Amino acid sequence: MAVFVTSAVATAIVLAWELLGPRRNSFAATIESLLLVAFLALALASLRTFLHTRDGAMLRVDSDGVHLVRGLGWKAEIAWNRIALVQFGPRLVQLWALGTPLVKVAFALSVKGKKGFGSSSIYVNDILYNVRKEDLNEIAERIAFIAGASGARVESPEDPNW
């Protein structure tokens, strides 16, 4: 979020200078226009990442496999026969607040697909996705049971450094 705010402020400054500042040669105007586009792109990219990791995500488990759909239509899907590893339990998560890293222990679920074409992974934790730990634990145990029955490795480490 700090990246978004910083980029948005920088974009506003460049835009104001471009519109209200003194007239310059075309080279300087071109450089300032490129800076404006760069700051704007960075601001939008950081906002999109922020939206992807907040509310609006949906983790679905059905007969085809595990599916994670996040904001703006981003998807990760892993079929049951393509799951290689399921891990769930406490995990250290690094968050950023006002430019300072915070480390918290979250309940996390990680589903990794087999290597090869189209391999994918799904990672969800209770802090970034705003879900109750109990709900995430329940769905993690269901995924672990079904994936374990189809030959996937299942781990539930107590140490949060996995």
Local confidence band at 116 (pLDDT 50, 70, 90 cut-offs): confident
Question: With a threshold of 0.75, does the pTM exceed it?
Answer: no
Residue with tokens 């189809």: 150
- Where does residue 155 fall: left (phi above 0), alpha (psi -120 to 50 degrees), or beta otherwise? beta
The 8-class DSSP code of residue 73 comes to G
Please write the tens of the pLDDT for every residue from 42-97.
Answer: 665 655 444 444 556 788 899 999 988 877 777 889 999 999 999 999 999 887 76
Kind of pairing between the strands at 100-113 and 121-125: antiparallel
pLDDT the model gives residue 33: 73
The 8-class DSSP code of residue 24 comes to -
Q: How much is the mean pLDDT over the chain?
A: 80
pLDDT the model gives residue 83: 95
